[in-house]
Amino acid sequence: MNKRLLQVLRSGPEDEVLWPPPIWMMRQAGRYLPEYKATRAEAGSFLDLCYSPKLATEVTLQPIRRFGFDAAILFSDILVVPDALGRKVTFEPGVGPRLDPIKVSEISELTIAGALDHLKPVFQAVNDIRAALPPEVTLLGFCGAPWTVATYMVAGRGTPDQAPTRVFAHQHRTAFLNLIGILTEISIDYLCAQIEAGADAVQVFDSWSGILGESDFNDFCLDPMKRIVAGVKQRHPDTPIIGFPKGASLHYERYVRETGIDCVGLDWTYPMKLARERLGGHAVLQGNLDPTRLVAGGDALREGVATILSEAKGSRFIFNLGHGITPETPIDHVAEMIAQVRAG
Ligand code: 1CP
């Protein structure tokens, strides 16, 4: 197999470690790239971009052409799933996503029949990206974790602590668990369809998992992820699954051990040494550069990258950021980071 990143994802604790580690970047197609902004302007709305196989393929390939990352990630968004479920979703330039907040009575009316049809352009994009990618580049599919997607469906937007959704979940627990159940079910089908269209591996983004108390984490994050991993593995046992429970701190360990994910995304607050000790025997590690170091550049970037490389060396590891790259990041800093990682 000549895909280095996929090779690491498939490796076990006893396998030889691949070094220098493969590298990709969360949100690697995005507004820090002038070519992305040009295609985005051509597309019209953000959802038009997501649902155009031609343009989604183009923006997926842009960071591969420019930097030669070891993985391409399908260009789409986690919120195409609520859109496919019939919720109103818009992306306001400079503001972020806006949804019609879902009411308790609307949850029981949600149906996943037909939703996958709505997402066909996404599967076409996966197919087209696969055909256009150099053979050594791993193709990643993705979805949002049920909890993270639900926070946007309930609050209608991103808020600093997603408190509206936490209140809703406490006040209407049965309905909220039904919503999580529906999102879990559709996530399994959605990821499987991406794999069938050509994705080599998939990542589940739980960007808001770090704001929950233990029992809520168990019910809203851990149990659904267990079901997603089991459901996808049942149909595609050889496809690696990456889980990214951002900010989950002390919950990381159980998340890794109990869900059976193949690889875990580490945010920048999780100490690499601890990750090796507690998580490395169970999953490949991925991450964990603070994205603000990439914005700052200079010594902050060099030292951040060097520390991660020295602490991760000897473990099954994929270099990445601890969260997505931000639009103000200078492109030169990305090239410098890649050169340093590739030098081992
Ligand atoms: O107008 C634009 O160009 C909007 C910027 C943008 C981009 C480039 C949005 C709006 N989404 C995306 C693409 C995207 N989103 C990808 C593409 C693949 C890649 O990584 O290159 C992926 C994987 C996502 C995933 C996503 N969307 C997450 C999970 C990861 C994370 O960053 O935490 C979340 C929470 C979203 C919701 C979303 N979509 C867009 C924004 C600005 C947000 C966050 C909103 C908020 O919380 O305020």
At 79, which CATH number? 3.20.20.210
pLDDT for 1 equals 63
Alpha carbons within 13 A on the beta-carbon side of 26: 31
Give the distance (Å) from ligand 1 centre to CA of residue 77: 6
Residue-wise pLDDT for 179-194, tens only, equals 999 999 999 999 999 9
Using CA positions, which residue lies closest to atom 12 of ligand 1?
77
- How many domains, in total, are found in the chain? 1
Do 13 and 337 form a contact (C-beta atoms < 8 A)?
Answer: no
46: nearest Cα among 99, 94, 93: 93
Here the tokens at position 307 are 């520390």
Give the distance (Å) from ligand 1 centre to CA of residue 7: 27
User: Which of 77, 205, 207 maximizes ligand 1 atoms within 8 Å of its Cβ, making it the mutation to test the pocket?
Assistant: 77
C-beta 77 within 6 A of ligand 1: yes
> Which residues are CB-neighbours of 197 under 8 A, at least 6 positions away?
123, 124, 126, 127, 130, 141
Print the domain residue range for 235: 4-342
Task: Say which DSSP state 18 is in.
Answer: P
Per-residue pLDDT tens, the chain, 344 aa: give them: 699 999 999 999 999 999 999 999 999 999 999 999 999 999 999 999 999 999 999 999 999 999 999 999 999 999 999 999 999 999 988 889 999 999 999 999 999 999 999 999 999 999 999 999 999 999 999 999 999 999 999 999 999 999 999 999 999 999 999 999 999 999 999 999 999 999 999 999 999 999 999 999 999 999 999 999 999 999 999 999 999 999 999 999 999 999 999 999 999 999 999 999 999 999 999 999 999 999 999 999 999 999 999 999 999 999 999 999 999 999 999 999 999 999 98
Ligand 1 atom with minimal separation from the 246 CA: 33
Do 193 and 142 form a contact (C-beta atoms < 8 A)?
Answer: no
CA distance linking residue 134 with residue 131, whole number of Å: 8
Using CA positions, which residue lies closest to atom 13 of ligand 1?
77
CA distance linking residue 40 with residue 35, whole number of Å: 9
Give the distance (Å) from ligand 1 centre to CA of residue 27: 7
CA distance linking residue 143 with residue 224, whole number of Å: 13
Ligand 1 atom with minimal separation from the 50 CA: 13
0.95 exceeded by pTM: yes
Here the tokens at position 77 are 């968004």
Would strands 96-99 and 89-92 be described as parallel, antiparallel, or unpaired?
Answer: antiparallel
Ligand 1 atom with minimal separation from the 28 CA: 21
Residue-wise pLDDT for 123-167, tens only, equals 999 999 999 999 999 999 999 999 999 999 999 999 999 999 999
Using CA positions, which residue lies closest to atom 9 of ligand 1?
77
Length of the chain: 344
- The torsion angles phi and psi of 282, rounded to 5 degrees, stand at -110, -25
Task: Say which DSSP state 23 is in.
Answer: B
C-beta 205 within 6 A of ligand 1: yes
Q: What residues act catalytically?
A: 27, 31, 40, 77, 152
Ligand 1 atom with minimal separation from the 93 CA: 1
